[in-house]
Amino acid sequence: MGTVISLALPAGAARDGGDVLDGATAAVERVFAGLDATFSLYRPDSEASRMARGEGTLRDASAAFRGRFADATGWRLLTDGFFTPERPDGVLDLSGIIKGYAIDQAASALKCAGIEDWCLNAGGDVLVSGSPAPGAGSRWLAGIVDPQDRGSLLSGFSLGGAGRFSALATSGTAERGNHIWRAGTDRAGGGRAGLGPPDFRQVSVAAADILTADVLATAVVAGGRRMLDRATDSWDVEVLAVRGNGELLATQGFRA
C-alpha cells in the first residue's frame, strides 16, 4: 500500500518477554500483506492491477475483490457520489477503501489474539482499543497534523476508553490523496461542474469505526462544504476541516 503502519501497546505489554508485542505485530503484518497482495496498485501482479488494466471483469474477480467493490459502491450511494471507486478515467481503484478495511481486519486479528489495548496507525489513519494505561483507564490521545506546518500539531482528539469514538482519519490534498478526485473539476462533462477550487486542504473525521471515518474524510475533501454538512447530519461523527486559506471549520467535539 506504500504506507507505514505503527502499532503502539501499553508499556506493560512488552514486559511479558516480548511475546505479546511480537504476536500483535505479526498479526497486523499478515493482514496488511495479504490485502496488499490482492489490492495494491503498486504491484503489477496484483488482482487490482490486472483489473485496472482491463484484464478480466468483476464476474471473474475473487470474492474478496467483489466484496470490497460492493462496500465501495455502497459508500458511493451514501455519499452522493463524492466517494467513488472509479477514477475519472473510469479505471476501478479501490485504494480509498482498502486501507480502512485493512485496519478494521487488523483490529479483528488483534482482538482474536486476546490483545485488548492498542493503537494502530496506518498512514495517518488511526484506530484504537482500550487504553494506553489499562489500569488508569485513560484514553489514547491522537494529534492532528497542521497542514500549514507539518512539523506541528493543529489539534488533538481523545479516542477509545469509554468514549464513542475509536477511529480518527485525516484526508487531504497536502500530501498524496491520489484516490481523491474532485467531482466536477476532474470529470469531463460530469454533472457537478462549477464547484470551483477545493474547499478543504485537510479534513479529519472521528467516528466509532475506521471505515466510516476514512471514507467520510475522503468524501468531504472531494465534496466540500455540501458533503461536510451531509456527513455531520447523517453520521455520528466529529469533523475538523481546514480550508485552503487555513481557516477552520469544526463540530463541537473539536472545541476546547
Partner 1 sequence: MVQTRFGAVQVQITVKAGAITDVTALQLTDDVRKSVQISNRAAPLLRAAVIKAQSAHVQTISGATVTSGAYLSSLQAALDAANL
Where does this chain bind partner 1 (CB under 8 A)?
2-4, 6, 8, 119, 121, 123-126, 128, 132, 140-145, 147, 150-157, 168-177, 202, 204, 228-229, 232-241, 246-252, 254-256
Q: How far is the CB of 135 from partner 1 (least distance, A)?
A: 16
d(CA 176, CA 144): 16
Taking the least distance from each CB to partner 1, the nearer of 183 and 237 is 237
**Residue 145 in grid coordinates:** 497534523
Q: Where are the beta strands (DSSP E) in 52-148?
A: 118-122, 125-129, 140-146
d(CA 58, CA 206): 32
Question: CA separation (Å) from 90 to 42, 45, 71, 86, 87?
Answer: 18, 20, 18, 5, 5
Q: How far is the CB of 219 from partner 1 (least distance, A)?
A: 14
Taking the least distance from each CB to partner 1, the nearer of 65 and 200 is 200
Confirm if 51 and 92 have CB atoms less than 8 A apart: yes
Taking the least distance from each CB to partner 1, the nearer of 50 and 226 is 226
Q: How far is the CB of 99 from partner 1 (least distance, A)?
A: 8
d(CA 243, CA 224): 9
Taking the least distance from each CB to partner 1, the nearer of 27 and 159 is 159
Q: How far is the CB of 56 from partner 1 (least distance, A)?
A: 28
